[in-house]
Structure 1
Amino acid sequence: MELNIPEFEGPLAQRGIGVIAPFDLALERELWRWAPLEVSLHLARTPYEPVPVSRAMAELVSERRHLMTATRDVLHVEPEVVAYLCTSGSFIKGVTYERTLCDAICEAGAPCAVTSSGALLEALRHLEITRLSVITPYDAELTALLHDFLYEAGVEVARSTHLGLGGGIWKVNYRTIVEHIMAADTDEAEAIFVSCTNLPTYDVIAPLERELGKPVLTANQLTIWACLGRMKLPMSGPGKWLRGVF
């Protein structure tokens, strides 16, 4: 039997996204569900810090030197964009600080940079949303800092709920997440934002958008969406309001 080798020119050409994740990220599989077949995700992690999920942890995992080191760790595979996949770490010190994190990633050699909180603001601008309901897995202090970040960006928080977790966020079941999203909804909110890249949300977005009739925006969804937009690629997965935005 003779094999016609010229028919097999190699695997599908891959385009890369570098991902800087906090040390405790447990949702790599969810990230891959957002990516089209031609996109590979290349992860690097910030150093382990023996602290619970809190303001202190958000400050530690967003240190400029950690982000620059992690960026250099993924550059050898030539990503087209590098994302800092952490919501709290990118909103913790306000809008200006979020921009400095992108600057640090680019200074380390990335062609362009995205953060989870920056992706949120991009989506809200594109969708012309100024009133938002918020759900977080954080404690009250960290949730309040997200409110401050949104207020600084000109976005009103119509209603908010938080789970008060100090760890194990990836273990929260879908029923609990859906109950809190429903509780956070209000007629005044034009959309709902679910914070934290370690909170599983993929399978609840589409049914909730159908039920509530408004965008349900989540941290992993928005981060990958913003990266793909810079690559001129469409987003895979749920989130009908974001399709065709870039």
Structure 2
Amino acid sequence: MRSVRLGILVPSSNTSLEPLTSAIISSIRSSEVTISVHFSRFRVTTIDLSSDANAQFEFLPILIASRLLADAEVDVIGWSGTSAGWLGFEYDRKLCAAIEAETGIKATTSVLSLNEILRSLGIISFGLVTPYQKQMNDLIRANYASIGVDINENWERHLGITDNNQIAEVSEATLDGMVTDVVNNGAHVLSTFCTNLRAAQRVEHWEREHSASVIVLDTVATVIWGSLKLVGVDTRVVKGWGFLFEVE
């Protein structure tokens, strides 16, 4: 049986993505592959558009964290974060190239994987649910518009939170309301766009509740999808986490 190790980069103040990622990996049912997940952190505490906040995503600390994952001989490194949403997609492309040059290990990110999913499914518009400030959502919308993907202004919802610890405290009831609002305004595809939101576990519920035509792409899940793709594992081995893992 083949053994695969996934390496995941984590913002230091994030307390949601590790348990969610572990739960997703634990759902895998396969007689051909066993998959383990391993984490490494770098410092991120505040999520806003200030120069100090953006400096948290400089490459050096991320590369140091990546080297630690390389020590575990992981097969792929995934950045489970959404900073490219406002910093620009080129940021993640350059980051992945730097990680690969530093470690010799393939790399992907939540956002690049999300974008690949949108392309593969031919999706040219989607809704956006975040805990961020409106200005950040506006930047995310502008970056998607630059690649021909529309986020209708009626399909974006935000909470205005900048403290990453507070983001992890957003309740399922709050997320349920935001998702329902976006869907009721006409979105058939939406993303819960922040890896410190406890949202991935609700995806299957939302898709079932709002009919089979609704797809929810959570960014904790997208980096797992992208990482599995990079190492040649059929993503359908993941069971119970929504449409994303049900298609080839």
CA contact (8 A) 1:137 1:169 kept: yes
Offset at residue 203 of structure 1 (A): 2.6
Q: Which residue of 2 aligns with 1:82?
A: 77
Q: Which AA in structure 2 matches 1:47?
A: R
* 1:238 corresponding residue in structure 2: 241
How far apart in 2 are the matches of 1:178 and 1:145? 24
| 1:135-169 deviations in Å (ceiling 9; x for gaps) | 11001121112112211221100210101112211
21-30 or 235-244: bigger deviation: 235-244
- The residue aligned with 1:115 is 109
Partner of 1:185: 183
Question: Where do 4+ consecutive residues of structure 1 move more than 3 Å?
Answer: none
* TM-score using structure 1 length: 0.87
Which of residues 14, 21, 29 in structure 1 aligns to 2:10?
Answer: 21
Partner of 1:134: 128
User: Which residue number corresponds to residue 97 of structure 2?
Assistant: 103
Which has the greater radius of gyration?
1
Match of 2:11, as an amino acid? P
Q: Which residue of 1 aligns with 2:21?
A: 31
Structure 2 unaligned spans of 5+: none
Partner SS state of residue 223, structure 1: helix
d(CA) in 1 for partners of 2:53 and 2:119? 25
Question: What does 1:35-74 correspond to in 2, within 5 Å?
Answer: 35=25, 36=28, 38-47=34-43, 52-56=46-50, 59-74=54-69
Provide the C-alpha distance between the structure 2 equivalents of 1:188 and 1:130, rounded to a whole number of angstroms: 14
CA–CA distance in structure 1, aligned partners of residues 86 and 145 of structure 2: 13
What is the CA RMSD across the aligned residues, in angstroms? 1.9
Task: Give % identity.
Answer: 24
Give the corresponding residue for 2:168: 170
Deviation for aligned residue 1:186: 4.8
1:55 alignment partner, SS class = coil
Deviates more, 1:176-185 or 1:143-152: 143-152
Question: Displacement of 1:92 after TM fit?
Answer: 2.6
Is 2:78–2:107's contact at 8 Å kept on the other side of the alignment? yes
1:160 to 156, 162, 187: 156
8 A Cα contact 2:13 2:43, kept in partner = no
Length, aligned pairs only: 231
SS of match in other structure, 1:193: strand
* Structure 1 residue 90, shift from structure 2 partner: 2.3
Q: Which has the higher contact order (CA 8 A, sep 6+)?
A: 2
C-alpha contact (below 8 Å) 1:46/1:70 kept by paired residues: yes
Cross-structure match for 1:145? 139
Aligned to 1:124: 118
**Distance of 1:48 and 1:217 partners within structure 2:** 23
